[in-house]
Structure 1
């Protein structure tokens, strides 16, 4: 059963409505719950903390409690933003968490609620997700490149762009394996593509690729800038690298 925030036949995927969410899970009685929804407006979360906490933290707790009562699996996606962003070493699952913004804190609360519930779970921390659907950095850069001759892009935040298709493929495989070996696979994993880039490198690659394939763009200059020169309501971690060795 695929659900979004709109109710269908009395079933609701609206994570801000905890009662409806709980009732939906009990009605469907699933063997596996995949939570691919979240409050992801990083800057807005600084002023909309209550909703971010409800969607990312409390809804995760409700799903975990219901999964535990059904002996079902809960598949949940989290973020590199649970870390402080210090240093340059890829973060491991066992590293200390210290989010620098409220979005990261709300996602961490969700992780902790799931772990505390005792339900069978797979938590995948991922980073810099892109895909054909929805908004993402690559689409934003292409849109701006059509309207502006010059772009300034952050060059001191480092991470790994990770495709939604990769996440979906790994999730499908992980569910198959988890059902066969529930006692050994439940836990927290980092899921990201290989390599690392800055936002500046990423933008340069996307725009260069678009130009090479005949896209008409106005941009003629892409300039690297530091995070300190581009203030935002929410702080961003500089190091978003994730060590994925455990998942392999």
Structure 2
């Protein structure tokens, strides 16, 4: 469950929501003013902020701007303001969701869960390995038998895509779509030229392949050299 910071000036609503979210397993901090809430957000590193707009010391949209200047924590606006203009302003200022009162705690919890799922950092990518090839997409590096290879961006993208589908023959239409996004002017010849450059980087040729194997009329396959 998440560490939720609830910024709400209405004491009955604040107390009730905090208790209900805690029963669902969340750790909950709360504040009844914008200034106190922003301080808690910065100091306590909450996973998500639920922010009312009708606060006594600052307008909630101003508080949202201050939160966005101080932290990247996801923010769900929870307010009785139901006009579209306010909603659009809040989203444009960096809110991740907008919930209109009254709502059930189950509804709010579902919104919290959805926002946290969307904003969760991507897990670190696991390097792809094909024989002596190691492709680290996160670090954008390639090595062959322990020696680093220097590839152009499109060569890297081409090799990474083939490595993701190692052992399968990949057609040129698929490569144009996946690597070049079907850009205007990209033809089979473009793919062939990049494959030729890639073979050179890998120390092989089309006539004497080690990793890149062409299948005439079908496509190309990346596979580890036979033992």
Same fold by TM-score greater than 0.5: no
**Looking at CA atoms only, which structure, 1 or 2, has the larger radius of gyration?**
2
TM-score for the superposition, normalised by structure 2: 0.33
State the TM-score, normalizing by the size of structure 1.
0.31
